[in-house]
Amino acid sequence: MRKKKIAFFLQNLSGGGAEKSVVNLSNYLVDDGIDIDIVLVDKANAAYLDELNPNINIIDLKKNRSLKSIFEVKRYIETNNPEVIMSSVTHINLVLLIVKVFTKTANTKFVINQVNHLTSIVKYALKINNLSQFVTRSGVKFIVRIYNYADGCISMSKGVEMDLKNHGLNIKSQYIYNPIFSEEIVNLSKTQLSKSDKKVFIAIGRMVPQKNFSLLLDAFYLVNKEINSELIILGDGPLLNVLTKKINDLNLNESVILKGFVSNPFKYIKVADVFVLSSLWEGFGNVIVEALSLGTQVVSTNCNSGPAEILENGKYGFISSTMHKFELARLMIEAINNPIDRDLIIERGRYFSIRNSSIEYKDFLLNY
């Protein structure tokens, strides 16, 4: 009797939260006796490849665009006949549902995983082109109409799921928080780094508009006037040169450290006093849970929609009510001067365990 097979369909295994979640989930499920395939549009950008259990199968489609992979994914499904194939990230979800139209199989279930707040993504994309709120709502409803062709939808947070339902999602759906390896995080954080004499703030993420690092730099400029401090940013991306110029313009060269992508960020989080998330939107916010698990204070913008759920609207961290540099700076200073009880935030971080989330995923994906 063959083992149950689950396939995950992704653009790549780059250093993002959605990709990390698939890696964590895949490792847990393969140890639980599930046959796991990860189907990648392109394996070239695969920061997390070395973290995968060797029993996980990687299928590299070697395409530079997701739309070019449609018939290869179709061929994979018809050849391997997985019980379920799940995609992550909006554009990959749409590609998978195009694949469904052309695929002849009565057995495979097509499940989409919405990792970000859809309205926020569409609103930002259309704002760039100065399009109206009406167009935003229409764009979200159009995407959700396509989503309704899926066999199921998993959202990364309650807010993400409610956003989809408010725009017409009517298929089987559930929100499941991302699987986080708290024990692994603690073990990886034990690598010793020297503790700075300054107060240390840390931020992690790709240098893209969503992460809003420009706001963080403006806020840190104000904080640095009040507190002898430094800011470490882990991550890279297309806005690296823009942010480097801003650091120079603010004369923060001696206080802001850009480390690029780091495979083990936990040793840096462990020695930091405060983790800061300045995003415009986050479906969940893995790194907030990781910071909590290590007892590091958290300051976050109140973006849609994961951070407020994780921090329970301020019980476990500091949430900025506005996207303004003065408010973010005030909370960064508050986190230094009046930190939340460390044991309390560690306990909160451990609430989002890999075991709990993986059981929910397994039940949703295999028990229709």
Say yes or no to pLDDT of 368 above 70: no
In degrees rounded to 5, what are phi and psi of residue 130? 60, 40
What is 5-179+353-366's CATH number?
3.40.50.2000
Identify the pLDDT of residue 145: 95
174 Cβ partners below 8 Å, 6+ apart? Answer: 152, 153, 154, 155, 161, 360, 364
Give the pair of three-digit tokens for residue 159. 């807010």
Q: What is the mean pLDDT of residues 151-169?
A: 95
pLDDT band per the 50, 70, 90 thresholds, residue 194: confident
Identify the pLDDT of residue 122: 82
Q: What is the mean pLDDT of residues 180-196?
A: 84
Say yes or no to pLDDT of 354 above 80: yes
Check: CATH 3.40.50.300 for 182-351? no
Identify the pLDDT of residue 26: 95
Identify the pLDDT of residue 54: 95
Identify the pLDDT of residue 130: 54
Identify the pLDDT of residue 332: 98
Domain assignments of the chain as residue spans, ordered by start: 5-179+353-366, 182-351
Say yes or no to pLDDT of 129 above 60: no
The pLDDT tens digits of the residues spanning 34-69 come to 999 999 999 877 778 888 999 999 999 999 899 999
Give the pair of three-digit tokens for residue 115. 């990792």
Contact (Cβ atoms closer than 8 angstroms) between residue 62 and residue 81: no
Say yes or no to pLDDT of 132 above 60: no
Q: What is the mean pLDDT of residues 157-182?
A: 93
Say yes or no to pLDDT of 126 above 70: no
Highest mean pLDDT among 46-50, 104-108, 297-301: 297-301
Identify the pLDDT of residue 212: 96
Identify the pLDDT of residue 101: 92
pLDDT band per the 50, 70, 90 thresholds, residue 230: very high
Look-up of token digits 């929609």:
305
- The Cα–Cα gap between 102 and 80 comes to 16
Q: What is the mean pLDDT of residues 147-161?
A: 96
Identify the pLDDT of residue 20: 86
| Residue (of 277, 298, 257, 266) closest to 211 by Cα position | 277
Same fold? 5-179+353-366, 182-351 = yes
Identify the pLDDT of residue 134: 60
Sheet order of strands, 318-320 included: 256-260, 229-234, 199-204, 274-277, 297-301, 318-320
- The Cα–Cα gap between 230 and 219 comes to 12
pLDDT band per the 50, 70, 90 thresholds, residue 178: confident
- The Cα–Cα gap between 346 and 262 comes to 23
pLDDT band per the 50, 70, 90 thresholds, residue 356: confident
Q: What is the mean pLDDT of residues 97-104?
A: 93
- The Cα–Cα gap between 155 and 200 comes to 33
Contact (Cβ atoms closer than 8 angstroms) between residue 56 and residue 38: yes
Give me the half-sphere count of Cα atoms (radius 13 Å) on the Cβ side of residue 137.
6
- The Cα–Cα gap between 300 and 319 comes to 5
280 Cβ partners below 8 Å, 6+ apart? Answer: 120, 124, 209, 210, 211, 212, 301, 303, 323
Contact (Cβ atoms closer than 8 angstroms) between residue 226 and residue 248: no
Diameter of the chain by CA atoms? 66
The mean pLDDT of the chain is 92
pLDDT band per the 50, 70, 90 thresholds, residue 195: confident
Computed on alpha carbons and rounded to an integer, the radius of gyration of the chain in Å comes to 21
The percent of residues above 90 in pLDDT, for the chain, comes to: 75
